[in-house]
Chain A
Amino acid sequence: MRRLLIAGIGNVLLGDDGVGPFVIKVLESQYDFAESVELADLGTPGFDLLVHLSGADAVILVDSAKFGGRAGDIRLFRKEEILRIPAVARLDPHSPALRESLSQLELMGTMPGELLLVGIQGSHFEPGSPLSTPVRECVPVIIDAVRRELHRLDTWCEPKASAGIPAVWWDQNFKQREERICACYTSD
């Protein structure tokens, strides 16, 4: 059976860096997926990305990104484009990340067939802060990008009959603030 992975990357304790895991929680609570689709919050994994990406048929990553846009801007990167970025040298286990992990997978011969990175330009990374307003407001656009990619990959995801509240356990104020606007995550 095909294996499709949708993974959020980032540190949930550092403001906009947590947008990837946040989107995973929204997707889990609002959508049903084909059986071959796996959702994961991978945190900030360095080379441990290899363990999760290795041998997948297709991967969609959601991560905060720095590409010179404004907060909340979204840019899509395909694996070929990521591989053209120069690899960085290693000083500690955090240094290797996505770009270096992809090269490694290529070398091992276990590179995912398809890989899309949905990159979101962030602006606030203070410990303990929630997502900034522009980043929170772009979540429906991110979800739309993920759904289009799933469609392109010939699989599906549909809004749940009864959607729950995303389990954003790291944000104490999330529940009251977000309940009102959860509906917008599933509107087409």
Chain B
Amino acid sequence: MTSRIKIDPISRIEGHLRIDAEVDGGLVSKAWASCTMWRGIENILIGRDPREAWLFAQRFCGVCTTVHALASVRAVEDALELPIPPNAQYIRNLILIHHALHDHIVHFYHLSALDWIDVMQIPKADPVKTASLAQSLSSWTRNSPQEFKSAQDKVKALAASGQLGIFANGYWGHPAMHLSPEVNLLGFTHYLQALEFQRKSNQVVAILGGKTPHIQNLTVGGVANAIDLDSLGTLTMDRLTMIRSLIDEVIPFVHDVYFPDVCAIAGMYPEWFDVGGGARNYLAVPDLPNESGFDLPGGVIFSGDLSAAKKFETAADPDFRRAVTEDSTRAWYKGGALHPWKGKTRPEYTDFQDNGKYTWVKAPRYDGRPMEVGPLANVLVGYAQGHPLTRKWTDEAIARVSAVAKRKATVDKLESTMGRYAARAIRSAMLADLAVKHCELLTNNILNGDVATHNPPQFPKGEVEGVGTHEAPRGTLSHWVVVRDGKLANYQAVVPTTWNASPRDSQGQVGPYEAALLRNPVADPERPLELLRTVHSFDPCMACACHTFDTDGREIAQVKVL
């Protein structure tokens, strides 16, 4: 029997990710990823001053504000071949690192942990046993029986009230949930603690950026932060000390809570290292520029072959500039495959057609191939190049997972649903180390007497093209600009979720979500928890949400027997 599952949480007035899957004999046989709203938001920028583009780009998405702001200024700087001073680089890097840490912590605990943790099992847990389990995993100071007891009491109170609130529509008791009550309690307790630490990470962004969620300190050519160690209202030694003390609080949460939690839970669900491998082509751009290169390596891998990985030497490698196209064959636009500088956004809406057009997302391709982007790509590209920091944390994760699962895990197993969770934790552990490094680079550079933060831009007559890249929390982001006589003549953003939620293309090649969903098990089509696990492993963000408050709550999954 074949059934068709449609997952479409139409909870806002427009625009969301929709997943359709055909399930045959308990396994997904076909899948489609669709975005339900056209934004065409880049068109707003055409004709504007390139120096103010980042203010608008920052509003493309409410969750990923900072990353679009940064990619936008980098695109204009690339077009002008305008270097930025070291202080500006380090300040931007610190903002990026802390935005990413905040985002990864929220993704694991608040957006996806409850796909794995069964909250309704928590009342059965023994807080003392939970504490001894937690203490065997790490030296975190807040793993006491009292801490677990107090979290358990919250769940008991909710269950007793009959008002489950945020937990009202979880897939509790689903056959694919099989952690012990103690592990469920452990994960949930850290879910509560995580709020505090994602917030501290965000505070670093606010101190340097002036405000969150919309930072105010960027400028084409650098940053607008004034540095004067003796003057209030600028970046002073006091503020640098404040940033350092926040970093010193966030790092233990990442290294002693988030990272060990993911490794332990992954080890208890080892079957999820065999599910959800996707396109098997990976793309990451180098990021976090330092004095001599980049602290996060970039490159491409095809067909999962790490031995043939290609390294990118610059933020926008000549190959990357040349190889990217967006194909509209199966998306609701006119035209075929175009390079982003030539990109056009001309809508051509049909209905959802399984064998025709079915989404507002174009299909980005790299030399014609679909590419997965995100922490998994980031980690595999670094691992393939022998990047020491990537190797250090990947090897540590593999050792921890192997110990819990009592079977040998290997790096190729990362190409899976659970591997994406592990990769995000590995990347976070790396970023926590790099937070200290870049804070020290900034402090030392200032102490050495360099206070420059900005190089003024000059716009030539005629036309120049640029691309700004950023390895964002969800993967490779690129903004492509054409500047003519000092005004924006074209603007295209190729965002991480466009790569991952890509539809089929003119060759019929499926996108990464669609590939990852194939052969996914589905025990109960009415409660497709397994599909959510794989989709959530990518950390989807359609960047097209229109956040109107809606008074209707709706069912998430509709199932129909074919």
A contact set with B: CB distance below 8 Å:
9-14, 17, 41-48, 50-51, 54, 63-68, 77, 83, 85-100, 103-104, 106-108, 117, 119, 122, 125, 127-128, 169-170
Contacts and interface: CB of A to CB of B under 8 A. Distances in A.
B169 A89 contact: yes
B62 A11 contact: yes
B535 A91 contact: yes
Nearest to B544: A94
Query: Ordered nearest first, which 7 A-B pairs have the shortest CB separation?
Result: A44-B62, A86-B553, A94-B545, A103-B166, A103-B165, A89-B556, A44-B547
B242 interface: no
Nearest to B535: A91
Contacts of B359: none
B351 interface: no
Given A44-B547, A48-B63, A94-B62, A104 B16 contact: no
A107 to B, nearest CB: 6
Contact of A92 (B198, B214, B540): B540
B13 A87 contact: no
Contacts, number: 176
7 contacts: A12-B59, A51-B202, A63-B549, A91-B556, A97-B549, A117-B549, A125-B14
Interface string B47-78: 00000000110011111010000000000000
Interface of B: 7, 9, 11-14, 16-17, 19, 39-41, 43-44, 55-56, 59-63, 65, 106-107, 110-112, 154, 158, 165-166, 168-169, 192, 195, 198-199, 202, 212-214, 532, 535-536, 539-542, 545-554, 556
Contacts of B154: 107
B55 A169 contact: yes
In this complex, the member of A9, A92, A117 whose beta carbon has the largest number of chain B beta carbons within 10 angstroms is: A92
B386 to A, nearest CB: 33
Contacts of A99: 549, 553
DSSP majority for the A interface?
Answer: loop
Given A42-B213, A127-B43, A170-B59, A89 B165 contact: no
A107 B192 contact: yes
B191 to A, nearest CB: 9
A108 B212 contact: no
B547 A17 contact: yes
A24 to B, nearest CB: 12
A15 to B, nearest CB: 9
A110 to B, nearest CB: 8
Given A86-B553, A107-B192, A41 B548 contact: no
Contacts of B540: 91-93
